[in-house]
């Protein structure tokens, strides 16, 4: 069987059209046969949906209002988010969450938007994707308060939080997605946490075009580069890169059942 990776979080709409086609081609030939592109604005859905449709069966779409954009676009209605979650071409809701590093939107608006995404995720039965920065305690509080029977169906994307939040996410039944940060010299703490988390709950991502992994650091990121994060994770777990590819692809399929064609692409 050939190796099959999935980039669980990228922003293909941030690339120029010719760059994007080339990035998808390169990813597929590097074994990154599935990509989940994240639409961060509710007004961009049609544009991003077209990108996903053009790149079937390798690209699927998740939609949410990024915490950076909540003030600008307004806190979305729970019913609107639920309706988006029910769309056949939407496999997840997000990214949503709290960014207390940049604080581009007022904190109370970010929190309300985050809670509404979670509730809409429960109603439409698609998982949610969490962006959290410098907000571990507040993120934990909301995840716990909004849980149903102590469970949440979601993923902490681009993991850069502390151990307590990682452990809480695992306890709630959630997943943790590791980005190029895992390869950075100064990220020992993130590697230590990743090493201790169960492999059956880990995903890998690029967050393209941001955060290119070592040895591509500083360049514009692309989904093909997820293999560098996978390689570091294989070292941390003491397993082969093939095993990381297989496990993280299976994990992705379990979390995002509506995107199962990415796992078979």
Provide CB contacts within 8 A for 90, sequence distance 6+.
61, 62, 63, 84, 126, 258
Q: How many residues bind Zn ion (CB under 5 A)?
A: 3
**Backbone φ and ψ of 220, nearest 5°:** -70, 130
Beta strand pairing call for 93-99 and 202-204: unpaired
- Considering the complex, what minimum distance in angstroms separates the CB of residue 242 from Zn ion? 27
Q: Which is nearer to Zn ion, 33 or 131 (CB)?
A: 131
Distance CA 176, CA 167 (A): 10
Element (DSSP H or E) covering residue 163:
helix 163-171
Which residues, numbered 160-179, are part of the site for Zn ion (CB under 5 A)? none
**Which string of x and - marks every residue 21-40 that binds Zn ion (by CB under 5 A)?**
-----------------x--
At closest approach, how far in Å is the CB of 264 from Zn ion?
25
Least Cβ distance, residue 110 to Zn ion (angstroms): 13
Tell me whether residue 11 or residue 201 sits nearer to Zn ion (CB atom). 11
* Shortest Å distance, C-beta 175 to Zn ion: 15
Closest among 108, 82, 101, 91 to 38, alpha carbons compared: 91
- Choose the binding region for Zn ion from 53-61, 87-95, 109-117, 188-196 (rule: CB under 5 A): 87-95
Beta carbon of residue 130, minimum distance to Zn ion (angstroms, whole number): 9
Which is closer to Zn ion, CB of 117 or CB of 131? 131
Please list every residue from 229 through 258 that binds Zn ion, using CB under 5 A: none
Distance, in Å, from the CA atom of 219 to the CA atom of 202, rounded to the nearest integer, reads 25
* 8 A C-beta contact, residue 31 and residue 245: yes
Q: Least Å distance between CB 94 and Zn ion?
A: 9
Write out the binding residues for Zn ion, residues 89-148 only, by CB under 5 A: 95, 131
4 or 131: whose CB is closer to Zn ion? 131
- CB closer to Zn ion out of 32 and 38: 38
User: Cβ distance 65 to 96 under 8 Å?
Assistant: yes
Q: Where are the beta strands (DSSP E) in the chain?
A: 5-10, 32-39, 59-63, 93-99, 128-133, 154-156, 175-178, 202-204
Whether the upstream peptide bond of residue 95 has omega within 30° of 0, thus cis, is yes
How far apart are CB 243 and Zn ion at their closest, in Å?
26
Shorter beta-carbon distance to Zn ion: residue 38 or 118: 38
Residue among 181 and 263 whose Cβ is closer to Zn ion: 181
Q: Footprint of Zn ion on this chain (CB under 5 A)?
A: 38, 95, 131
């Amino acid at each position: 069987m050939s190796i099959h990776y999935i980039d669980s979080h990228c922003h293909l709409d941030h690339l120029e059209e010719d760059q994007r086609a080339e990035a998808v081609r390169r990813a597929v030939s590097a074994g990154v046969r599935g990509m989940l592109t994240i639409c961060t604005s509710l007004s961009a859905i049609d544009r991003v949906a077209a990108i996903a449709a053009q790149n079937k069966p390798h690209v699927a779409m998740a939609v949410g209002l990024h915490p950076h954009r909540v003030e600008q676009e307004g806190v979305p209605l729970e019913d609107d988010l639920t309706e988006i979650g029910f769309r056949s071409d939407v496999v997840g809701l997000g990214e949503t969450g709290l960014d207390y590093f940049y604080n581009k939107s007022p904190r109370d608006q970010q929190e309300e938007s985050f809670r509404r995404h979670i509730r809409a995720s429960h109603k439409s039965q698609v998982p949610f994707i969490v962006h959290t920065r410098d907000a571990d305690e507040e993120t934990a509080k909301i995840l716990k308060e909004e849980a149903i029977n102590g469970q949440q169906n979601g993923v902490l994307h681009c993991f850069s939080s502390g151990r307590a939040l990682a452990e809480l996410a695992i306890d709630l039944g959630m997943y943790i997605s590791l980005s190029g940060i895992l390869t950075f010299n100064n990220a020992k703490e993130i590697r230590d946490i990743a090493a201790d988390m169960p492999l059956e709950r880990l995903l890998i991502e690029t967050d393209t075009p941001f955060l290119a992994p070592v040895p591509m650091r500083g360049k514009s990121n692309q989904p093909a580069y997820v293999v560098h994060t996978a390689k570091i994770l294989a070292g941390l777990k003491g397993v082969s890169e093939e095993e990381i590819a297989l496990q993280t692809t299976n994990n992705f399929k379990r979390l995002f059942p509506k995107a199962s064609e990415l796992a078979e692409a």
